[in-house]
Chains A and B, each alone.
Chain A
């Protein structure tokens, strides 16, 4: 009796794992198909530009405001800690490194997942539920090429730019609080930042992170939308899955990328 229970539970666990692995395989094949059928999105680039507008430009407000506040908080917290060691002139370095290495890509990625990723999933899911994708198929137009690929590339191109703007706005926020409000020396703030932030090790690595996050978030968003159960409940579940999965993916990938980039032998 007990053995049968254990066996049943093991079977359920095995079934759940198998179905997740199967779904990951399906998502990977979907990504491959999507990339191979991106000709339309790149040839008729205005389709992708329209999606850059929806995913990127319309996310600007939340990205810029969040960046400003995160930078301001960093300025306050950083000054508080640094001045204990008499190193308050290093505030600029602290703010800039925190933003370009970590907070810019990660927080912009998380905000992008909830603002644009969820919208992409909901839109594609609803198009599926209202047979718009089937209608396209019937008109001999591949919905992956016409609907999914422009959204994918729009998202992939938007996130690195949004992350860069987030970091720039954050540095400005740190400057406002640190220099204008608290009175850290402006020359020290900027010159130490200039001297200590390395283009390749810090800025470029941050950009690489945001590119990887952009691919991950948008891939998850378009796949969840395309794979959504075509009902109101199905689309709602898919949208939730997009935000949860892509947030976890960003944090997990961030750890892996940070481990690869900033440990051992690169002088950091």
Chain B
């Protein structure tokens, strides 16, 4: 039997005020088990889309159905119950700086499950082993490199074995090795846990190697979608400019400005 999509966004629009819509008529459906990329320029609305999926922003039109529930119809308790089945990796990890690596990973378990000490310890160590940082359990977040902090945050976000994992710019500011490690972990953990992952990113080339399907966004709309191969071969000018990192294309190099010669006062007054 065909399972319903884990995330279904139907005709969703959203704006912080009526004059400036951030999302316009977004339609997307994410199947269980997939790793899906949402890509596009900074400011195109992809993080806002993530906020809609996690129920932090209610659509002004349309509906977001996540894990079987319409997010805007949920009250605070309903939203929290839904989020217990979700994990989220923030852009810079968002580790609790006053807690050790161990305590960070243990945090969601302590808050939501009254586990005996030994079981809690074993679970935390298993999560840290999965991201290769069991040996760093005693360190404080300030003692970690950017890549390690991201991996600890990943271990924390999978602590409750989520069905859906959201990644907000997981590759930002990482060196190539950490980049590869995080990309591999996203794929492996998704498949091991039987979860579904949504990666919001503008690091296109690297992300295309990990994801099963891509939604490409510009100015609050989905302008292209397809498998990584289809996206690479896309003839849509914006996608082409973005994927190949060209400085000229539909997105101009120059911010709109008055005439250059006039600005330099080179125009001859007649």
Chain A: residues with CB nearer than 8 A to chain B? 126-127, 130-132, 134-135, 137-142, 146
Query: Closest CB of chain B to A58's CB: distance in Å?
Result: 14
Are the CB atoms of A131 and B94 closer together than 8 Å?
Answer: yes
Contact B90 A140 (CB under 8 A): no
Q: Are B92 and A138 in contact (CB under 8 A)?
A: no
Beyond A132-B96, A140-B79, list 11 extra A-B contacts (CB 8 Å).
A131-B91, A132-B95, A132-B97, A135-B88, A135-B96, A135-B153, A138-B87, A140-B80, A140-B81, A140-B112, A141-B107
Q: In the complex, are the beta carbons of A139 and B92 less than 8 A apart?
A: no
Contact A139 B94, beta carbon cutoff 8 Å: no
Could you tell me if A134 and B81 are in contact, using CB atoms closer than 8 angstroms?
A: no
* Cα distance, A131 to B92, chains bound together (Å): 9
A130-B97, A132-B96, A132-B97 given; A139·B91 CB < 8 A: no
CA distance A137 to B94 in the complex (A): 12
- Name B81's closest neighbour in chain A (CB-CB): A140
In the complex, per-residue mask of B35-68: 1 if CB is within 8 Å of any chain A CB, else 0: 0000000000000000000101000000000000
Nearest CB on B from A138, distance (A): 4
In the complex, what distance in Å separates the CA atom of A127 from the CA atom of B84? 21
Contact partners of A127 in chain B: CB under 8 A: 96-97
Q: B residues bordering A, Cβ < 8 Å? A: 54, 56, 79-81, 83-84, 86-88, 90-92, 94-97, 107-108, 111-112, 153, 160
Q: Is the CB of A139 within 8 A of B97?
A: no
Complex partner residue of B94 from A132, A140, A142, CB under 8 angstroms:
A132
Contact call B80/A134, Cβ cutoff below 8 A: no
- CB of A138 within 8 A of CB of B111, answer no
Cβ–Cβ contact A146 & B94, under 8 A: no
Distance to closest chain B CB from A129 (angstroms): 10
- In the bound complex, what is the Cα–Cα distance between A1 and B16 (angstroms)? 36
Contact, CB under 8 Å: A134 / B83: no
**Among B88, B94, B97: residue with most chain A CB under 10 A:** B94
Q: Judging by beta carbons under 8 Å apart, are A140 and B84 in contact?
A: yes
Nearest neighbor of B82 in chain A, beta-carbon distance: A140
Give the interface centre of B54, B84, B111 by most chain A CB atoms within 10 Å.
Answer: B111
B contact residues around A126 at 8 Å (CB): 97
Question: What 4 pairs across the A-B complex have the smallest Cβ distances?
Answer: A140-B80, A131-B94, A135-B94, A140-B83
Q: Which residue of A lies closest to B85 (CB)?
A: A140
| A141–B111 CB distance below 8 A | yes
Inter-chain contacts of A131 with B (CB < 8 A): 90-92, 94
Which of A138, A141, A142, A146 is B54 in contact with, Cβ under 8 Å?
A: A138
Residue of B nearest to A147 (CB): B96
B253 vs chain A, min Cβ distance (A): 28
Bound together, the chains give a CA A141 to CA B110 distance in angstroms of: 11
List residues of chain A with CB within 8 A of the CB of B111. 139-141, 146
Among B86, B97, B112, the residue within 8 A (CB) of A138 is: B86
User: Are A137 and B56 neighbours in the complex by a CB distance under 8 Å?
Assistant: yes
Instruction: Let me know if B81 and A138 touch, CB within 8 A.
Output: no
- In the complex, A130 Cα to B90 Cα: how many Å? 10
Residue from the list A135, A141, A142, A146 in contact with B90, Cβ < 8 A:
A135
Question: How distant is the Cα of A142 from the Cα of B96 in the complex, in angstroms?
Answer: 15
Please tell me if the beta carbons of A130 and B94 are within 8 angstroms of each other in the complex.
Answer: yes
Which of chain B's residues have a CB closer than 8 A to the CB of A130?
Answer: 92, 94, 97
Q: List A contacts of B112 (CB < 8 A).
A: 139-141
| CA A139 to CA B90, docked complex, whole Å | 12
Alpha-carbon gap, A142 to B84, bound state (A): 12
Bound-state CA distance A142–B83 (Å) is 12
Residues A139 and B56 in contact, CB atoms below 8 Å apart: no
A130 to B86, CA, bound (A): 20
For A54, give the chain B residue with the smallest CB separation.
B98
A139, B80: Cα distance in complex, Å: 8
Q: How far is the CB of A52 from chain B (nearest CB, A)?
A: 16
Please report the C-alpha to C-alpha distance between residue A140 and residue B81 in the assembled complex, in whole angstroms: 7
Partner of A139 from the list B81, B95, B108 (CB cut-off 8 Å) is B108
CB distance from B127 to the nearest CB of A (A): 14
CB-based contact A138/B84 at 8 Å:
no
Q: How far is the CB of A151 from chain B (nearest CB, A)?
A: 12
What are 15 A-B interface contacts by the 8 Å CB criterion?
A: A127-B96, A127-B97, A131-B90, A132-B96, A132-B97, A135-B88, A135-B94, A135-B96, A135-B153, A138-B54, A140-B79, A140-B80, A140-B83, A140-B112, A142-B80
Name A134's contact: one of B84, B94, B96, B97 (CB within 8 Å). Answer: B94
Contact B54 A139 (CB under 8 A): no
Q: How far is the CA of A86 from the CA of B236 in the complex (A)?
A: 98
Q: With A and B bound together, what is the CA distance between A134 and B57 in angstroms?
A: 13
CA distance A137 to B96 in the complex (A): 13
Interchain CB contact under 8 A, A138 and B91:
no
> Which residues of chain A are within 8 angstroms of B86 by Cβ–Cβ distance?
138
Kindly list chain A residues whose C-beta atoms are within 8 Å of the C-beta of B92.
Answer: 130-131
User: Which single residue of chain A is at the shortest CB-CB distance from B91?
Assistant: A131
Chain A residue numbers with a CB within 8 Å of B79 are 140
Which residue of the partner chain A has the closest CB to B166?
A138
- Cα A259 to Cα B84 in complex, Å, equals 52
